[in-house]
Amino acid sequence: MKPNLDESYESWCERVRLYEHGHALQRLARGEAIEVIMQDMARRIEEKLLHPLLKKEQNKNQII
């Protein structure tokens, strides 16, 4: 899920949260264990939210 060009980071974070919440509810409806779902949801949200920040930092530190 990529942020829109005119979207704030906070708005994009909310979209990520809602998307992952929906994904977790679908898994719950399929009967998967809630503990596994919650751990995966937390990991997926963390990875998505950190990715643009880490990429920006990595690009800043590249030698041109």
In tens, the pLDDT along 32-51 reads 999 999 999 999 999 999 98
Contact, 42 vs 16, CB < 8 A? Answer: no
Q: Which residue type sits at 20?
A: E
Range in 21-25, 29-33, 58-62 with the lowest mean pLDDT: 58-62
Nearest to residue 43, comparing CAs of 23, 62, 60? Answer: 23
- Residues 6+ away with beta carbon under 8 Å from 44: 20, 23
Q: Which residue type sits at 30?
A: R
pTM for this entry: 0.79
- Residues 6+ away with beta carbon under 8 Å from 28: 34, 37
pLDDT at 58: 82
